[in-house]
Amino acid sequence: MPTGLARSGWEADGTPGPEVRQHVAPFCIFLAVRLVARETKRTAPTDHTSRGASRISAGARNASVVHLAKTLAGELGRSGITVNVVYPAATATEHFQERMAAQAERRGISQEEVLRRAAANTAIGRLVTPLEIADVVAFLVSPRSVAVSGEAISVAGGAGAGVSY
């Protein structure tokens, strides 16, 4: 690193030292995942004839994110940085309510019926709340989660019968 640009936490060669990596890496990983997810949603087809292609795209995106987390966990673990993926299922948010209202209109049924059907697809009989997802994330960023790294963690209330990884 050129003289005058050296900062606390940075190595002499200009690479981030352990202190910087500890604080910056989780944010960078979160940002990368959000950008990948947002771009895929933006370009995903919306007509029913393209649903298969959309599912393939979403599956490839999800596999890539999990692979990224596992790779980064291996690279950063010795520096004390854990990397995990948290993926929620349908979550009781305002945005979800708006999507369900649109779905109810398309199907010609009540919004309550759409929500009832969504809840019926979970083992807990209801949608997951944002606070429940936040609780999982709070654990993962705590010192108690040191042995959990490189994992894809579903916060879905037992939704679906398939195995997701």
As a whole number, mean pLDDT of residues 95-116 equals: 91
| Tokens standing for residue 147 | 């042995």
Per-residue pLDDT band at 94 (split at 50, 70, 90): confident
Cα 118 from Cα 137, distance rounded (Å): 23
What is the model's pLDDT at position 9? Answer: 59
As a whole number, mean pLDDT of residues 137-157 equals: 88
Specify the pTM. 0.65
* Residues carrying CATH 3.40.50.720, the chain: 83-165
User: Residue type at 6?
Assistant: A
Cα 140 from Cα 82, distance rounded (Å): 8
What is the model's pLDDT at position 45? Answer: 47
Percent of the chain with pLDDT over 70: 63
Cα 122 from Cα 128, distance rounded (Å): 9
Select 83-165's CATH number: 3.30.1490.190, 3.40.50.2300, 3.40.50.720, 2.30.110.10.
Answer: 3.40.50.720
